[in-house]
Amino acid sequence: MFDLLDIDEFLKQNPHLTSRFRFNTDWEDESDAKKVVAYRNQLEEYRTSPIDAEDNLYNSHENGLHGRRRLQENEIVFQFLPISSENQWLLVDVGIIKVVDWEIRHNPNTGKDYWVASHDTVELFRPFFNRLVVEKPADSPETGGKMRGWYFKNDDILRNVNVLELLPRSFFDTSTFNGYDKVNLAFKELKNALQESSWRDALRHINGVYLLVDDSNGRQYVGSAYGTDGIYGRWENYVNSRNHADESDSGENSGGNKRLVELGGAHIRENFRYLILEVFSQKVDKTTILERESWWKNALKTREYGYNAN
């Protein structure tokens, strides 16, 4: 990555700067009583509300206003967000820290305040934002066994960050289908994507098992599609029509599934996102797909802890 972005040359021209890589993981907001009050999905927050997400990226202290500093003045910080469970991270911002204790923000979930650092975005690296996908190094003698954390400033460690891919367009661009393994869309994004011919063609000609995730609480729903229009037909029913069995508002966007009907369309539209777990040719028989659907329900325990009623 140092070679691709020519980071050494940039630091040579700016000798007053030190570098830091920040791998921003998801987390759970806790109250003073250590009760989880909200699940924070970094990628979805960045996707749906970049300004609020930026506050999280440049949150400068541990534990509110008085904890240890996470950032320092005159650091250039490379900000990454996780885009899969396979150790794939997306570069979303590069900023030079100006003032660590810049402004106070309030977290409505916990009722606590926290400092946000001011920064200048480095325009030189902007063409790589939302396109560069890297792999975080594993613990090894080269990294000194120190890769369990999430922010690093040791150049020897940072040089082991591997570039996996430079996407031809933004990761968040839904105008073109980029592959079944990269489908991870919020409800509103999915609705827009299904209007694009590349998405319709890709999803219409395959059957499969898919996953719905409720970002407000982490609960999941596993479903399957094996009809004429494949996954496209199933998802089109979710986003563009009311409950196919009942035109009531409570069933909107639910696809007729019992526990989803109970949530209501408004909750689904604001909190749900859609992923694909497995794809199958439309020549594969329905029984095989249903068996795989049941396997995923058992593996993810979506009957016990999620929204699957059967």
Intervals of CATH 3.40.1440 along the chain: 180-300
Is residue 149 very low, low, confident or very high in pLDDT (cuts 50, 70, 90)?
A: low
Q: Are 235 and 194 in contact (CB under 8 A)?
A: yes
Confidence at residue 84, expressed as pLDDT on a 0 to 100 scale: 73
Average pLDDT over residues 254-270: 81
Q: Are 238 and 253 in contact (CB under 8 A)?
A: yes
Taking the C-alpha atoms of residue 238 and residue 243, their distance in angstroms, rounded to an integer, is 8
pLDDT tens, residue by residue, 51-91: 778 888 998 887 778 888 889 999 999 999 988 767 889 99
Average pLDDT over residues 92-112: 90
Taking the C-alpha atoms of residue 80 and residue 1, their distance in angstroms, rounded to an integer, is 13
Is residue 16 very low, low, confident or very high in pLDDT (cuts 50, 70, 90)?
A: very high
The matching CATH number, chosen from 3.40.50, 3.40.1440, 1.10.286, 1.10.3470, for 180-300 is 3.40.1440
**Neighbouring C-alpha atoms within 13 Å toward the C-beta of 30:** 6
Beta strand 151-152 with 18-23 is antiparallel
Q: Across 32-159, where does the E strand assignment appear?
A: 36-40, 75-84, 88-107, 112-121, 132-135, 151-152
Is residue 241 very low, low, confident or very high in pLDDT (cuts 50, 70, 90)?
A: low
Residues 6+ apart with CB under 8 A from 60: 69, 70, 71, 97, 100, 101, 102, 114, 115, 116, 117
Taking the C-alpha atoms of residue 264 and residue 297, their distance in angstroms, rounded to an integer, is 22
Confidence at residue 248, expressed as pLDDT on a 0 to 100 scale: 44
DSSP string, 130-193: TTEEEEPPPS-TTTTT-TTSSEE--HHHHTTPEEEEE-SS-TT--SS---GGG-EEEHHHHHHH
Q: What's the longest Cα–Cα distance across the chain?
A: 66
Single pTM value for the model: 0.65
Mean pLDDT of the chain: 85
